[in-house]
Every structure is written in structure tokens, then in C-alpha cells.
Amino acid sequence: MAIQNMIGAPVTGENFYGREIELRNAHRYLNERQSLLLSAPRRIGKSSMAKRLINDKTDEGWKCVYVDLQGIATKETFLYKLIDAFTGVGIMDKAGTKALNVFGKALNFVNGINLGDQKLELNDQALTEALFNRLSGIFDHSKDTLIVIDELPLFLSKLMDENGKNRNEIEFLLNWFRSIRQNENSHIRWLFCGSVGLRNFTNHYAMSQSINDLVDFELGELPPEEAKGLIEALAKSYKLSIDKALIDEILDQLQWPIPYFIQLLIDRLILKIPNPQTRPVTHEDIEEAITALSKSDKFITWSERLAEYRNLKSMAQSVLDHLSVTDDSQTKDDLLKIVMKNQDPTLIEEVKEKITIVLEMLEHDGYLIRSDKYRKFRSPLLRRWWANKFID
């Protein structure tokens, strides 16, 4: 079956394209019994990668489980989600499965129950810890197993309230995961994914030792050959005829060839050209597709995501607003001047500290690219969208 144009959900099976180097490295680490931390920008393809690894490892006979924490905001639903995912996939030993039943009852847990009906509230820290410790004792460490926990940092940052009141609970959860990983001779491997930087988070709250055994696994743009290959494969599926020079032009326009942007662009071309057999793609089609995307709602997640910057959100917004309409790259000092406008000048040192953090976060999250001391939008497409949405 030919590759399909997919925009949004994680891709699986034939629709997963490329990532050969990343797959090779991920398999090597997992085979060497290392656990991984995949912290990379939004929409880069983390969940697709995780699902592909699950698929590959299931084919090799491993036990695999995928836990998605998107939308989870309390430790009760987190626990529920874990138990639900671990039940019936063979990663608990026999005693564990029995214990789970007891455990499930303690949680008012009935298979298939709607999360909204969840009764339990773990107000008592001692009870929570007892339940988690019970759960950690029932893993079967003797079988090759891959457990993916997607969007863990997003969940943790939701759980942490503004004043860091839940810090200890979060440290407990991270140490709980760590203690399972530390089990001697364990065949369980973990892959934690997320677009919020888990290391920034644990450094900030002084709990970095809880994840210091994880290998950082990187996922970025596609290398040029894979980016071209994805365009060609999608074009072939939809009978679009794009000559090689135009493919180079697409890559030139995108500058940051992540699969999602390629899929969005191809989607526009498919919509624009209903009779591709008789009408090849032109330079104007590409220009129009890019313009249409820069006015679409396809990048709204990049703006919504700034909510996770909490008290740094308005500073991040000012930096991005400014960069979206400035042709030159900007230094930290240039940007400091922008955010200091309308501020009390005596706050400069405090603001300087904050802008350092904001710029690092924006770079980590794929909004900005830094070359020497200059910053600019990583993707010209995102930049045009930003200016169109917030400035023009």
C-alpha cells in the first residue's frame, strides 16, 4: 500500500517514513537495555517514532505498552491510566496480576469505567505512596519489555501548581519510575516522550538525579535525502508530478524540513490540483500553498503551547512577535531592549535572567534557531504564520 498524506495523528505502518538513523540508534540503546528520554519540539514526530519502536519490538517478541498522558492532570487519573495500560499485556508477573485486581478494587477501578466516574482521591500521601510501591513490586523484569510513557513532562507540569506546592509528590513519582528502572538485571526498557523539556523541569525543581540514568535521544528535522524521499513518496501516492528543481525549492522554502510541514504542504497541493495527471505542480502552486498555510490554523498548537511557559508566557510572546516581523537575526541584548519597553528600568537584572531562560526554552521547543549570538525563527513558515496571526 502506498504512503498516505497524514496531518495530525501519529503515523504508523506504511505511513511512517524514514528516520533510519534514529531507528538504528534507538534499537541499539534498547537492545543494550538502556532507557530513553525523547524530548523534542511539538509535531516533530515523537509519538510516531515511539509507536514504530513498539511495533518493531512487538515483532521481535517483546512485551510492549504505550501510555499516553496527554489530557491527564491528576495523580488519580495517572494511576488509573497506568493500571489500565499494564493490565492484560503480560508485563506483570502472575502474583502481580492477582495483586492488580485487589489494587484495582482499592481504586474503585473497573475495566472500561469512564475517567469522569473516577471516585478515588489520593489526598493521603502515605496511601498514595503505598499504592505506588505495591504497583512497582509486581513488574515481571525477566521478559524483554518496552514501556512508552508519552507526554510525561506535560502531565508533571500540570500537576505542579504555580507555587511548586506539589514538588514532593512529583519527585516521588519520578523516583518511583527510577526505582523500577534500577531493578537489578531488569529487561524492562522505558521511553519517555514529551515536548516539554523534562530536564529543564527537573533541573528547575532540583530533582535532576531522578532521571540521570536516562539516555537523551534526539529527534530533529529530516536529513535532506529523507525529506526529498518523503515528498517524492507522497507525490507518487497522489500522482502529483513535481520535478526535482521544485522539490529543492520546497526544501529551500521550508528550511526546517520536519515531516509534519511536508505533509501539510503536500495536502495543500493535493487540494489545489484536482487533475494532477494532466497538470504538473508549478512554482506558483508552491508559493500559494506556503501562503495558504501561513494563514491557516495549522500552527495554532505553537501559540497554545506558550501557556506552558506560565509566568514567562508574555515575555516569550513578545520575543516571538518581534522576531516574526524583523528581517535580521537578533541578539539577546536586542531582545532585552524589546521586552524592557514599558518596564521599570530597575528590573533589568531580573528580566535579563528571565530572558535567558525564555530563549533557551524557545530554542529547545523548535521556535528559534541560534547561530553564534543571533536568534531567529527556525521555520520561515512558522514565522510568517506568527506575523499573520499576531501582528498583521
**Range 253-312, binding ligand ATP (CB under 6 A):** 259-260, 263
> What residues contact 363, with CB distance under 8 A and at least 6 apart?
369, 370, 375
Instruction: Find which of Mg ion, ligand ATP, none residue 361 binds, CB within 5 to 8 Å per kind.
Output: none
> Of 192, 189, 186, nearest to 217 (Cα)?
192
**Binds ligand ATP by CB under 6 A, chosen from 1, 9, 110, 126:** 9
**Binds ligand ATP by CB under 6 A, chosen from 2, 4, 8, 142:** 8
Largest CA distance in the chain: 70
User: Which 8-state DSSP code applies to residue 3?
Assistant: P
- The nearest distance, CB 10 to ligand ATP, in angstroms, is 4
49 in Cβ contact with 12 (< 8 Å): no
Interface with Mg ion (CB under 5 A), residue total 2
> Of 176, 382, 360, nearest to 295 (Cα)?
382
- The nearest distance, CB 150 to Mg ion, in angstroms, is 6
16 binds ligand ATP (CB under 6 A): yes
Interface map 27-46 toward ligand ATP (x if CB under 6 A): ---------------xxxxx
Nearer to ligand ATP, 3 or 180 (CB): 3
- The nearest distance, CB 47 to Mg ion, in angstroms, is 3
- The nearest distance, CB 50 to Mg ion, in angstroms, is 8
Instruction: Find which of Mg ion, ligand ATP, none residue 19 binds, CB within 5 to 8 Å per kind.
Output: ligand ATP
**Range 190-209, binding ligand ATP (CB under 6 A):** 195
> What residues contact 293, with CB distance under 8 A and at least 6 apart?
264, 265, 268, 299, 381, 385
Distance CA 64, CA 88 (A): 11
Q: Is 146 exposed, middle or buried (0-12, 13-18, 19+ CB in 10 A)?
A: buried
- The nearest distance, CB 36 to ligand ATP, in angstroms, is 15
Return the residue nearest Mg ion (CB atom): 47
Over the range 255-274, which residues count as b (16 or more CB within 10 Å of their CB) and which as e?
A: ebbbbbbbbbbbbbbbebbe
Distance CA 150, CA 29 (A): 18
**Range 22-81, binding Mg ion (CB under 5 A):** 46-47
Q: Are strands 145-150 and 188-194 parallel, antiparallel or unpaired?
A: parallel
Residue in the block written with cell 532540583: 206
> What residues contact 333, with CB distance under 8 A and at least 6 apart?
none
- The nearest distance, CB 49 to ligand ATP, in angstroms, is 7
Nearer to ligand ATP, 42 or 228 (CB): 42
Give the rounded distance of the alpha carbon of 274 from its chain centre: 34
Instruction: Find which of ligand ATP, Mg ion, none residue 42 binds, CB within 5 to 8 Å per kind.
Output: ligand ATP
Nearer to ligand ATP, 195 or 210 (CB): 195
Nearer to ligand ATP, 43 or 383 (CB): 43
Nearer to Mg ion, 15 or 47 (CB): 47
Nearer to Mg ion, 83 or 149 (CB): 149
> Which residues in this chain contact Mg ion in the complex, by CB under 5 A?
46-47
Give the binding site for ligand ATP (CB under 6 A): 6-11, 16-19, 42-48, 195, 259-260, 263
